[in-house]
Structure 1
Amino acid sequence: MTTPHEHGPRMNIWKVVPQVYRGMAAFQAAAAEGLDPVIAELVKIRASQLNKCAFCIDMHLNDARKMGESQLRLDLVGAWEEAPGLYTEKEQAALALTEAITRLDGGTPQGHFVPDAVYERAAKNFDETELAHLISQIIAINAWNRFQVATRAVPASLQQSEPR
């Protein structure tokens, strides 16, 4: 079977440090409480795209499809701002916040912050508890992405069959 990296995966970090996996799983579960599952998947997909985490993109696209998400919305999540009417205002606010937190560049070379306008847009669409969960979810997926990218985790779809 072909792997996406010349040398294949580096390690299965979760077998080496299972206590870290348990901690991440607990954090993920707490972050997801009370958050709309569709928004949670869109956030996970978009952050994973930005972080170039093939493992997580594959997983969350599959999860979203199982939830009944349309292929068109999944195809265009990376260009959500250019797809008028396809995503609700609440979803757009979540995706904008995802991009700002994932990039932490403030939109400028001098940045390294989440712009007030992005935060305020999210705060208008989510109550305080939802917003806290959304921020936590964004941080959780960024952490998962970094573990998977650092260890070159192979997407499940590539483990199951030869790539097309």
Structure 2
Amino acid sequence: MTDDVSKRLNYGRQTPDVFRAMMAFSQASAKGLDPVLVELVKIRASQINRCAYCLDLHLAMARKAGESEQRIDLLTAWEEVPGVYTEKERAALALTESVTLLTDGFVPDAVYERAAQHFDDDELAALVSVIVAINAWNRLNVAFRTPPGGEK
């Protein structure tokens, strides 16, 4: 049995106020953070959540921001490639995975403390907000099966 994805709603059209609020939240959450780091976080969460739309979008945005193909290609195995990502990026990616995979339990203190060593309070609050925002976008796009390159 095959799902007919074309019958899924376009949530942006159905709930324009929610869509605008999500856009504002996403933009506000990234303020003060390195744009490349933000894209790495969004890509990693989208990989975990299997969100094709967000992967397509944020891979393109990372490339536009100057991210290398090698670092993009190795992102799924970031823990296995010391020296490819900075310690700050590695802390952000560990936090991304912990916040995204809440079914594994609470964000461990060690993961939080690792991130807190690399981000000041404002940056850490922004980073968690970016992670929450991309997870929300992932869930919307997965639920409505927004196609890569498609409009919401």
Same fold per TM (> 0.5)? yes
The equivalences for 1:107-126 within 5 A come to 112-126=105-119
- Residues 105 and 16 (structure 1 numbering): CA distance in 2 closer, same or farther, change over 3 Å? closer
Residue among 146, 149, 152 paired with 1:153: 146
* SS of residue in 2 equivalent to 1:30: helix
Instruction: Identify unmatched segments of 5+ residues in structure 2.
Output: none
State the alpha-carbon separation in 1 of the partners of residues 46 and 93 from structure 2: 12
* SS of residue in 1 equivalent to 2:146: coil
Q: Which has the higher helix share?
A: 2
Q: CA deviation at 1:87?
A: 0.1
Letter in 1 for 2:144: T
Structure 1 residues 132-159: Cα deviation after superposition (integer angstroms, max 9, x where no partner): 0000000000000000000000000xx5
In structure 2, the partner of 1:54 is: 52
Q: CA deviation at 1:6?
A: 4.4
| Cα pair 1:101 1:114 within 8 Å, conserved | yes
* SS of residue in 1 equivalent to 2:132: helix
In structure 2, the partner of 1:14 is: 12
* SS of residue in 1 equivalent to 2:147: coil
State the alpha-carbon separation in 2 of the partners of residues 102 and 31 from structure 1: 16
The equivalences for 1:1-164 within 5 A come to 6-9=3-6, 10-106=8-104, 112-156=105-149
State the alpha-carbon separation in 2 of the partners of residues 60 and 140 from structure 1: 13
Aligned-residue CA RMSD (Å) = 1.2
Letter in 1 for 2:4: H
Amino-acid identity (%) = 61
Letter in 1 for 2:109: D
Select between 6-15 and 68-77 the one with higher mean Cα deviation: 6-15
TM superposition score normalised by structure 1:
0.87
| Cα pair 1:51 1:145 within 8 Å, conserved | yes
State the alpha-carbon separation in 1 of the partners of residues 103 and 20 from structure 2: 31
Hey, which bits of structure 1, 4+ residues long, moved more than 3 A? none
Letter in 2 for 1:132: A
State the alpha-carbon separation in 1 of the partners of residues 133 and 76 from structure 2: 19
TM superposition score normalised by structure 2:
0.94
State the alpha-carbon separation in 2 of the partners of residues 117 and 58 from structure 1: 32
Instruction: Identify unmatched segments of 5+ residues in structure 1.
Output: 107-111, 160-164
* SS of residue in 2 equivalent to 1:34: coil
In structure 2, the partner of 1:109 is: none
